Amino acid sequence: MRNLVLLALLIGCFSCNRKNDLPEGILQPEKMQEVFWDYIKADVYISTFTKHDSARTEAIENLKLQDRIFKLHRITKEQFYKSYTYYSNHKELMTTMMDSMTAKRQREFDRTKQKPVNKALE
């Protein structure tokens, strides 16, 4: 009986750990958040930027910025899109990642909006 309980605990531990493992080639959530945040910012920038410059096309400028983002984060385009597809197909992981990314950015925004207290100026 003791062996059966021990076996059940071991199986439970290993099965829990396996749920958190990502397939090979998939970016970890923290890394994906950083890359995806830059990706979103670039997309917003390009949509705004190309409206004011008729000589530039949105698609070409978007590809250029994506390439810079992937180089900055030392990943390939294939790694990003494979990871994006994986997270999109696993809604719980995508929701958790997006919520975490949003909360982190909100904290950063709140921190920059706070005025430091300077006793010398009072």
pLDDT digits (tens, 9 = 90+) for 14-48: 444 444 689 999 999 999 999 999 999 998 888 88
pLDDT at 53: 66
Burial of 38 (0-12, 13-18, 19+ CB in 10 A): middle
Domain encompassing residue 46: 25-110
pLDDT at 36: 95
Burial of 87 (0-12, 13-18, 19+ CB in 10 A): buried
Domain count, the chain: 1
Residue pLDDT, tens place only, 105-118: 888 888 887 655 55
Query: Does residue 60 form part of some domain?
Result: yes
Q: Residue 114 is encoded by which pair of tokens? A: 């706070």
pLDDT at 14: 46
Burial of 75 (0-12, 13-18, 19+ CB in 10 A): middle
Find the distance separating the first CA and the last CA of the chain, reported in whole Å.
73
Query: Does residue 11 form part of some domain?
Result: no
Under 8 Å between Cβ of 97 and 104: no
